A and B are shown apart, each in its own frame.
Chain A
Amino acid sequence: MMEISKNIETLKACRFCPMCRHVCTSGNISFHESDYPRGRGLILDNILEKRMEYTSDLVQSIYNCCLCGLCWSNCEGGYMPHKLILSSRTDIAEKGMAPEAALKILESIESGKNPYGRKSNAYKGTGKKADFLYFMGDYIKFSGHPIADSVINIMKKAGQEYAILEEEPTDGKIMAILGFRGKAANAAKSLKKRFKDIGAKKIVVSDPLSYDCLKNDFPGYGIDLDARVMHISEYLEECISKGKIKVGKVNDTVTLLDSEFLGRFNGIYKAPRKIIKAVAGSSFKEMEKNGKYSLATGEAAFLFNEKTGVMGKMIGSRLCEAVNYIDAGIAVTLSGAAKENLGKCSNIKIFEISEFIWQNIK
């Protein structure tokens, strides 16, 4: 049975519906009808009804989706096209039709290299046993060392005993996003064993992809984590509210870029705001589109037209324009990927949330 058949209601609803066109991230980058949920619905309907087989051309449209979930947020019917896309990618990968670029990312992950294709060293772990585990996730492990440094500095300041897995393995989230669900499940099982071995009772994660993976994917694989999972923003909020760390004030206007995988898919909106407001006070300013309706940050924008690294930049330039519009001097992101996608946005200082707190800690 095809995985997409599990999302048949969404498929049949989306195939003729253009009502989320105005918010679709990939569609409003390429403007191709095949890059909107309606176009993808038509394609997948043909596949489901066995009128055609996947071709590399059709596969491209399915992988152009950045899974931001804005279509779902704006759907009065509550349909979830991002779930349909994930299920179709699983079907595609099982047929051996995954795009070359996706296979390269998979190969990098499986060989313990940077999935984003850059030459970089993995962040070193502590190796010791501890109740409290900091889990970086695939992005920060390779490409976001300053973020990890900030987290560690804050934990030390808070007097927190912690551990980091030595040679931190992947959580499998990127594999799952690219359709390699079986491999993702195996990675998750291996990781669970590592969590158990280290004795983790509380796991604090930086990457929203990892948070979503531990919270939602693991139960889907039948894995009971037996540990409390927190996003770093939730941990920081706890530290500030319990007085474990004290933060200073900034005079600049600060805004928050909500995360699709943390906010839209897991409802975490309050904690990041609380800690930013602790620093920024009344100079915190919401983005024009925020919360449920926030713009995509490109956390899962791995491929576009079979190329890597392209879509994130396009998403970043839209974000930059939006931050500039509200005249914020500082933009705080909830993921390393969002920070990278924003890139060098003129006149704006960009921090991942741990970096922002560490910069302003007393």
Chain B
Amino acid sequence: MAGIKKPSYMFDMVLFELADIVGRENVSTRQADKIAYSVDYYWVPELWHDRGMEKPCPDYIVFPSATDEVSKIMAVANEYKIPVTVWGGGAGSQGGALAVDGGIILDTKKLNKVYDIDLKSMTADTGAGIIMQHLEDMLERYGVSTMHIPASTYCSTLAGFIVHRGTGVLSTRYGKMEDMIVSMEVVLPTGEVINTPVVPKTASGPDLNWLFIGSEGTLGIITRVKLTLKKLPEVRRFQAFIFKDLASGLEMGRRLKVEGLRPSVIRLYDEAETRGQVKRVLGIDKKGFYLVYGLEGFADIIELESKKAFNIGRELKGEDLGENPGKKWWDNRYKFFFPPYCFALPQAYGTCDTVAAYSDIEKIYWAMKKAAESRFDSIRFIGHFSHWFEWGAMLYARFIFDDPPEDPHQALYQYNEAWNVTVRAALKNGGVINEHHGVGLKLSRFMKEQYKDSFKLIKGLKEMVDPKGILNPYKMGLGKE
């Protein structure tokens, strides 16, 4: 299995068949598009581009605007055994959207029709390729939101969030993307179209939604989704504290989450990130561990919750920074991800997010930091804890090499080694290989380490639904054919 090479008459034959499905204007073989689709938000293709290296790129880019078109494209791909890679916003950081083996890139952004907004059931029924901010703009007109609003809401698609199990900045209250799914329409790798049950809480066997949530375009192409909505809150309030040590900050977050309050946001930055990113972006110049939390809902209820939450901070000897620094974070929450505020080449950097029980999460932070810093003299390790569950918290850890090797092969080797030491430190201490962002190419090699014998279930599922192994090869530890 591989892309069909040009020039050949088969190249034109396949082009004709694809054009017959979606129209000639919706199939691109242009050089401009091949350049643009050969780099996603993964550091490695960015490095490869920067160093002028040859990158894997698709032979065809197709833009279906209806489910039956997706189905027919998959039938053609099966017929000729052409790899198909699904592209939403291309904003994933794991290399999941790269056409490593050439073939077809299926861009889903034209699957963007909003079919229904049901304010009684509080659901939205929409094409899965819609850019999330476009959906949010529409929902705002009705005073509602999905409440899934990560920084990538500007650039990622709804399905992109589902297949990478995205987490938004309000997830502590409203859950991750995966918690917002009512039902889905999916095109299987063979071209068959299936629908999951109309509502999710049935006791009739396993939940089919969960076969495709987090599947990263390896098991099917999500074309339409019904998802839950929430009313926009009457008030949104924020409060910031500085803690002298990590343990106190973590305890603050834990108590906010488990003591009956309903925080929408809890973000605890380590000392390095407080002195670095927080100072640079927000202008808050403090030593220690910066924590911001948010509460939202009816004003009178939030007034009461705010007092309770504030008292916890005081009990834990946090330095009260007031509401404004918290509000400042909210107003600038996406700024961290824009140049020049975000990390960028020539730096090498990676987000090795993980999640663990409260009993383990601090230990994991120190273990990852130690593993990284003891392996590399030149590495910087920073992190914040930004998604909190009843049982544990997510660590958004990052490593940075400010001056990686110029040679791309050496740089890539060093980069992968940094991943090895940090991810394995997380696994060894009660964590997992990631919390959101997905697996893609980047973390593929760790899938078997995390799942051990149970990985054969995932592998078996892949072989069953995609017998020719054409959908998003090499990703999620599933290899090729």
The stretch of A37-45, A102-110, A121-129, A138-146 that contacts the partner chain: A37-45
Q: Which residues of A contact B46 (CB under 8 A)?
A: 16
Interface residues of B in 189-210 (CB under 8 A from A): none
Measured CA separation A57–B28 after assembly (Å): 11
The stretch of A74-82, A233-241, A343-351 that contacts the partner chain: A74-82
Measured CA separation A345–B109 after assembly (Å): 26
Measured CA separation A60–B151 after assembly (Å): 30
Measured CA separation A28–B134 after assembly (Å): 10
Q: Which of B89, B141, B334, B341 contacts A18 (CB 8 A)?
A: B89
The stretch of A19-27, A176-184, A249-257 that contacts the partner chain: A19-27
Q: Which residues of A contact B332 (CB under 8 A)?
A: 76
Question: Interface digits, B337-348 against A, CB 8 Å rule (1 contact, 0 not)?
Answer: 111110011000
Measured CA separation A15–B334 after assembly (Å): 18
Q: Tell me if A42 and B49 are in contact (CB < 8 A).
A: yes
With both chains docked as a complex, state the minimum distance between the C-beta of A83 and any C-beta of chain B, in angstroms: 16
Q: Which residues of B contact A43 (CB under 8 A)?
A: 32, 35-36
Question: Interface digits, A1-34 against B, CB 8 Å rule (1 contact, 0 not)?
Answer: 0000000000001111111111000001001111
Let me know if A61 is at the binding interface, CB within 8 A.
yes
Measured CA separation A13–B339 after assembly (Å): 6
Measured CA separation A325–B131 after assembly (Å): 20
Q: Tell me if B134 and A42 are in contact (CB < 8 A).
A: no
Q: Which residues of A contact B110 (CB under 8 A)?
A: 31
Q: Tell me if B131 and A21 are in contact (CB < 8 A).
A: yes
Let me know if A49 is at the binding interface, CB within 8 A.
yes
Q: Which of B35, B155, B334 contacts A42 (CB 8 A)?
A: B35
Q: What are 27 of the A-B contact pairs (CB < 8 Å)?
A: A16-B46, A16-B49, A17-B339, A18-B89, A18-B90, A18-B91, A19-B151, A21-B89, A21-B131, A22-B134, A31-B109, A32-B33, A33-B36, A33-B87, A34-B30, A34-B32, A36-B36, A39-B33, A42-B36, A43-B36, A46-B35, A51-B52, A60-B30, A60-B32, A76-B341, A79-B339, A325-B141
Let me know if A111 is at the binding interface, CB within 8 A.
no
Chain B interface residues toward A at CB < 8 A: 28, 30-33, 35-37, 39, 41, 46, 49, 52, 61, 63, 87, 89-91, 107, 109-110, 131, 133-134, 141, 151, 153-155, 332, 334-335, 337-341, 344-345
Given contacts A42-B36, A76-B338, A57 and B109 within 8 Å (CB-CB): no
Given contacts A76-B334, A76-B341, A16 and B35 within 8 Å (CB-CB): no
Interface size class of A (residues with CB under 8 A): 35 or more
With both chains docked as a complex, state the minimum distance between the C-beta of A269 and any C-beta of chain B, in angstroms: 21
Question: Interface digits, A58-95 against B, CB 8 Å rule (1 contact, 0 not)?
Answer: 10110000000000001111010000000000000000
Q: Tell me if A33 and B33 are in contact (CB < 8 A).
A: yes
Q: Which residues of B contact A288 (CB under 8 A)?
A: 141
Measured CA separation A312–B30 after assembly (Å): 24
Given contacts A77-B339, A77-B340, A33 and B37 within 8 Å (CB-CB): yes
Measured CA separation A58–B34 after assembly (Å): 11
Let me know if A282 is at the binding interface, CB within 8 A.
no
- Interface-centre pick from B32, B35, B37, B332 (highest chain A CB count, 10 A): B32
With both chains docked as a complex, state the minimum distance between the C-beta of B264 and any C-beta of chain A, in angstroms: 22
Q: Give A10's nearest chain B residue, CB to CB.
A: B339
Measured CA separation A4–B98 after assembly (Å): 28
Q: Which residues of B contact A18 (CB under 8 A)?
A: 41, 89-91, 154-155
Q: Tell me if B28 and A32 are in contact (CB < 8 A).
A: yes
Given contacts A22-B133, A22-B154, A325-B141, A76 and B335 within 8 Å (CB-CB): yes
Q: Tell me if A57 and B30 are in contact (CB < 8 A).
A: yes
Q: Which residues of B contact A325 (CB under 8 A)?
A: 141
Q: Give A45's nearest chain B residue, CB to CB.
A: B49
Ranked nearest first, the 3 interchain pairs of A and B with the lowest CB-CB distance are A39-B36, A33-B36, A18-B155
Measured CA separation A46–B463 after assembly (Å): 39
Chain A interface residues toward B at CB < 8 A: 13-22, 28, 31-34, 36, 38-39, 42-43, 45-46, 49, 51, 55, 57-58, 60-61, 74-77, 79, 288, 325
Q: Tell me if A42 and B39 are in contact (CB < 8 A).
A: yes
With both chains docked as a complex, state the minimum distance between the C-beta of A165 and any C-beta of chain B, in angstroms: 41
Q: Tell me if A61 and B32 are in contact (CB < 8 A).
A: yes
With both chains docked as a complex, state the minimum distance between the C-beta of B127 and any C-beta of chain A, in angstroms: 12
With both chains docked as a complex, state the minimum distance between the C-beta of B351 and any C-beta of chain A, in angstroms: 15
Measured CA separation A185–B367 after assembly (Å): 63
**A-B CB pair tally, cutoff 8 Å:** 102
With both chains docked as a complex, state the minimum distance between the C-beta of A84 and any C-beta of chain B, in angstroms: 13
Q: Give B29's nearest chain A residue, CB to CB.
A: A57
Measured CA separation A227–B381 after assembly (Å): 58
Q: Give B111's nearest chain A residue, CB to CB.
A: A31
Q: Which residues of B contact A16 (CB under 8 A)?
A: 39, 41, 46, 49, 344-345
Measured CA separation A61–B31 after assembly (Å): 10
Q: Tell me if A19 and B334 are in contact (CB < 8 A).
A: yes
With both chains docked as a complex, state the minimum distance between the C-beta of A29 and any C-beta of chain B, in angstroms: 11
Q: Tell me if A34 and B33 are in contact (CB < 8 A).
A: yes
Q: Which of A13, A15, A19 contacts B340 (CB 8 A)?
A: A13
Q: Give B334's nearest chain A residue, CB to CB.
A: A76
Q: Tell me if B63 and A31 are in contact (CB < 8 A).
A: yes
With both chains docked as a complex, state the minimum distance between the C-beta of B22 and any C-beta of chain A, in angstroms: 12
Q: Which residues of B contact A51 (CB under 8 A)?
A: 52
Q: Which residues of A contact B35 (CB under 8 A)?
A: 34, 39, 42-43, 46, 58
With both chains docked as a complex, state the minimum distance between the C-beta of B13 and any C-beta of chain A, in angstroms: 22
With both chains docked as a complex, state the minimum distance between the C-beta of B268 and any C-beta of chain A, in angstroms: 23
Measured CA separation A77–B153 after assembly (Å): 17
Given contacts A16-B39, A18-B41, A31-B107, A39 and B339 within 8 Å (CB-CB): no
- Interface-centre pick from B36, B63, B87, B335 (highest chain A CB count, 10 A): B36
Given contacts A18-B41, A33-B36, A77-B340, 5 further A-B contacts (CB under 8 A): A13-B344, A22-B154, A32-B32, A36-B36, A61-B32
Q: Tell me if B155 and A77 are in contact (CB < 8 A).
A: no
Q: Tell me if B32 and A58 are in contact (CB < 8 A).
A: yes
With both chains docked as a complex, state the minimum distance between the C-beta of A272 and any C-beta of chain B, in angstroms: 24
Q: Which residues of A contact B37 (CB under 8 A)?
A: 33
Q: Give B342's nearest chain A residue, CB to CB.
A: A17
With both chains docked as a complex, state the minimum distance between the C-beta of A41 and any C-beta of chain B, in angstroms: 9
Measured CA separation A17–B90 after assembly (Å): 10
Q: Tell me if A22 and B131 are in contact (CB < 8 A).
A: yes
Given contacts A17-B338, A45-B49, A76-B338, A32 and B155 within 8 Å (CB-CB): no
Q: Tell me if B337 and A57 are in contact (CB < 8 A).
A: no
Q: Which residues of B contact A39 (CB under 8 A)?
A: 32-33, 35-36
Q: Which residues of B contact A75 (CB under 8 A)?
A: 338
Q: Which residues of B contact A55 (CB under 8 A)?
A: 31
With both chains docked as a complex, state the minimum distance between the C-beta of A337 and any C-beta of chain B, in angstroms: 25
Q: Which residues of A contact B155 (CB under 8 A)?
A: 18-19, 21-22
Measured CA separation A27–B125 after assembly (Å): 24
With both chains docked as a complex, state the minimum distance between the C-beta of A43 and any C-beta of chain B, in angstroms: 6
Measured CA separation A28–B30 after assembly (Å): 18
Q: Which residues of B contact A42 (CB under 8 A)?
A: 35-36, 39, 49
Q: Which of A57, A60, A77 contacts B338 (CB 8 A)?
A: A77
Q: Give B65's nearest chain A residue, CB to CB.
A: A31
Q: Which residues of B contact A76 (CB under 8 A)?
A: 332, 334-335, 338, 341
Q: Which residues of A contact B153 (CB under 8 A)?
A: 22
Q: Which residues of A contact B154 (CB under 8 A)?
A: 18-22, 74
Q: Which residues of B contact A38 (CB under 8 A)?
A: 36
Measured CA separation A14–B87 after assembly (Å): 19
With both chains docked as a complex, state the minimum distance between the C-beta of B73 and any C-beta of chain A, in angstroms: 16
Measured CA separation A28–B91 after assembly (Å): 16
Q: Tell me if A15 and B63 are in contact (CB < 8 A).
A: no
